[in-house]
Structure 1
Amino acid sequence: MRIGIVVDSACDLPADFIREHNIVLLPITVRIGEAVLADHREEDATLNFLHTHVAERGAEAETIPYSVNQIRDLFLDHLVIDYDHVFCMTITKTRSPIHDNALQASFAILNEYRPIRQAAGHNSPFALRVIDTQNLFAAQAVTAVEAVRLRDEGAGVAQMREQLEKLAGNVHGYMITRDLYYIRARGRHKGDRSVSLFSAALGSALDIKPVLHGYRGETAPVAKIKGFDNAVQQLFDFASRRVVHGLLTPVVCISYGGPLDELRALPGYAGLRDTCGAKGVQLLESVMSLTGMVNVGKGAVTIGFADEPHEFDA
């Protein structure tokens, strides 16, 4: 059976990993003033847009996910012919309409695919499953990597569906941002006032960086640490300890809102990389999606891995 894997472009995977494993993207378009770019996970284009636009007016950006009709057309034009079953894994539905758009599109796709497949010489049925990864950015990539592993090992559709849906509820994402003022400005633009001016001013004045934890569709601070570099080092050290303890899948995904050379120079990164290597855990690093950067700002770090329930321990 030909199994396809679809993710949206907020899923922070390296471009070469996406190409190597024939992962299909649902691009998210970012508009800042008159500048518009559809995010196809092209690192150079992302960094150029970051330097020319995000730094200036990123908090005012509009992100435009694939619509119901665009998803329907993508499937009916290509995917119902190229594959027999597709897993479509989306950013958490609590933060984006992409999941609901894909779910709504799936009804039309399953009603309309038969004559298209038959014309292409395929008489077997087509099926798809929309999965809410319940997480963001690097963390949502963990479920996609597992889907690739299961497919490559020859797992059946039922086994993949069961394991991926179970895994999505056990992925932990962590994020540290550099600029609380940016987060507040972005939140105000979107109508989210969860970061007050006082909190932003106090945090910036004291150089306090919150560590945000994404888990099962919810995002909340789990620690406040003085200094960005210090906070990142403690996060990477914590992730190293979880790797040593034993993860549910052998992968850690990391994304950074800027050039990857900057990520690799951050304190604690080399230790995490070495720990992953010693434990046979794949470390995937990528430039953060445009969607991620316009929502959390330049220079943010996100990390994701599948693990049992735990408490963040700096």
Structure 2
Amino acid sequence: MSIKVVTDSGCDLNNKLKQEREIDIVPLSIQIDDKHYKDDEQLNTKDLLKQMKNSDSVPKTASPSPMEFIKRFKEAESIFVVTLSSSLSSTYNNAMMAKEMYKEQFQDKFIHVFDSLSASVAETLISLKILELAKKNHKNLEIVEKVNEYISEMKTLFVLDSLENLIKSGRMSRLKGRIATALNIKPILGGNKEGKIELVDRVRGSKKAFKRLIELIGEKGEKLEEKILGIAHCNCLEKAEKFKEEVMKRYNFKDIIIVDAGGISTVYANEGGLIIAF
């Protein structure tokens, strides 16, 4: 049985995963003022960060159309799709629409769409889980069951070094944003069971935020020796590598992977942001 994993560009990869080409990315698009970006391998995230910093407007993102997903459905017997949280993006709905449109013509085709209830490296880990189960010859419905369980247990946390996009988007008032910036407040955010973003904690200073993020792994995680920790960084590889080093001193994960934040994750996390999932 041939299988294919299709995901949107909320899924962040590193060079190794890109070279293996086992995960097919359908790009979203990003607009900042009158400049448009396609969130694919050609996107220069440093240029994106510069544009965000120089603009007073909120970056706008647009989901891929159903047709963009349909193009990927022809290349394998079984298709597994992983999308950004349906609470954050319309990508899940468009992927579901693509599935329904395609199956009107090809009723026997197996297509399943997973709502990641998350973003970034969480999507990466879900995609890798599907591939792992398929290589162990699990049947389609077994993969669906096990991956849904995996998603329900997954924890996603991220720490922001900059509050700019939260202020621009209206998620934080300008006054509160200025006060938080002046006091060097760093929010730690996370995904809840509904796939929405919520405040987990707030601390003063980047060093304390870094330390608190490590502590939260122990407070929220279980059976870490059976899990992979994914770390996505927004233009701060050295920080991500230091985070991995400190985590390894304290916890015994099965594996730890570091990935680069793509365009969509960059819009959410901004420069210096770290996103973790396990």
Quick check: TM above 0.5?
Answer: yes
1:7 maps to 2:7: yes
Runs of 5+ unmatched residues, structure 2: none
Is 1:54 aligned to residue 29 of structure 2? no
Q: Aligned pair 1:96/2:97, yes or no? A: no
> Do the aligned residues in 1 keep the contact of 2:244 with 2:256 (CA within 8 Å)?
no
Structure 2 match to 1:235: 213
SS in structure 1 of the partner of residue 44 of structure 2: helix
Which residue of structure 1 lines up, in the alignment, with residue 145 of structure 2?
A: 162
In 2, Cα distance between equivalents of 1:154 and 1:227: 48
In structure 2, what is the Cα distance between the partners aligned to 1:41 and 1:143? 21
Amino acid at match of 2:201: A
SS at match of 2:214: helix
Distance in 2, Cα, partners of 1:51 & 1:194: 19
Residue type of the alignment partner of 2:77: D
Greater Cα offset, 96-105 or 147-156: 147-156
Residue deviations 1:225-273, cap 9 Å, x none? 1112220122124326767x523852111111114234324xx441214
Q: In the TM superposition, what is the alpha-carbon distance from 1:59 to its structure 2 partner? A: 4.9
Number of aligned positions between the proteins: 277
Report the counterpart of residue 162 of structure 2 in structure 1: 179
Partner of 1:144: 127
Give the Å deviation of 1:151.
1.5
Does residue 110 (structure 1) correspond to residue 75 (structure 2)? The answer is: no
- Is contact 1:9-1:41 (8 Å) kept? no
The 1:38–1:108 alpha-carbon spacing in structure 2 relative to 1, beyond 3 Å, is same
CA gap 1:46/1:58 in 2 versus in 1, 3 angstroms:
farther
Whole-angstrom distance in 2 between the partners of 1:156 and 1:58 = 50
The DSSP-based 3-state class of the residue aligned with 1:195 is: coil
Q: Secondary structure at the match of 1:60?
A: coil
When residues 179 and 236 of structure 1 are mapped into structure 2, their CA distance, relative to the original with a 3 A threshold, is same
1:280, distance to aligned residue in structure 2 (A): 5.2
Cross-structure match for 1:207: 184
Name the residue aligned to 1:35. Answer: 35
Query: What is the TM-score of this pair, normalised by structure 1?
Result: 0.80
Mapped to 2, the partners of 1:21 and 1:58 lie a distance apart of: 37
1:200 deviation in Å?
Answer: 1.2
* Contact persistence 2:225–2:254 (CA under 8 A): no
- 1:105 positional shift: 1.1
Q: CA deviation at 1:138?
A: 2.1
2:222 matches 1:286: no
Cα distance change, pair 262–280 in 1 and its aligned pair in 2 (3 A): closer
Instruction: Say whether residues 1:69 and 2:67 are aligned partners.
Output: yes
Name 2:235's counterpart in structure 1. 258
Deviation at 1:16, TM superposition (A): 2.1
Deviations 1:29-71 (A, max 9, x none): 22223433322256xx433423542332385322122112322
Could you say if the C-alpha distance between residues 59 and 41 of structure 1 is closer, same or farther in structure 2, counting changes exceeding 3 Å? farther
CA distance in 2 between partners of 1:59 and 1:169 (Å): 35
Corresponding residue number in structure 2 for 1:26? 26
Distance 1:61 1:239, change over 3 A: same
| Residues 271 and 241 of structure 1, relative CA distance in 2, 3 Å threshold | farther
Q: 1:272 aligns with which of 234, 247, 256?
A: 247
- Letter of the 2:26 counterpart: L
| Deviation of 1:21 (Å) | 5.0
Residues 181, 47 of structure 1: alpha-carbon distance in 2 compared, 3 angstrom cutoff: closer
Q: Match of 1:253, SS?
A: strand
> Which shifted more, 194-203 or 92-101?
194-203
Aligned 8 A contact 1:12 1:289 in 2: yes
1:152 Cα deviation (Å)? 1.8
Hey, what's the Cα distance between the residues in 1 that align with 2:230 and 2:56?
24
**In the alignment, which residue of structure 2 is the partner of 1:308?**
none
Q: Secondary structure of the equivalent of 1:169?
A: helix
Please state whether the residue corresponding to 2:207 is helix, strand or coil.
helix
Give me the whole-angstrom Cα distance separating, in 2, the residues matched to 1:129 and 1:182.
33
In the aligned structure 1, how far is the partner of 2:5 from the partner of 2:158? 26
1-structure distance, mates of 2:229, 2:58: 31
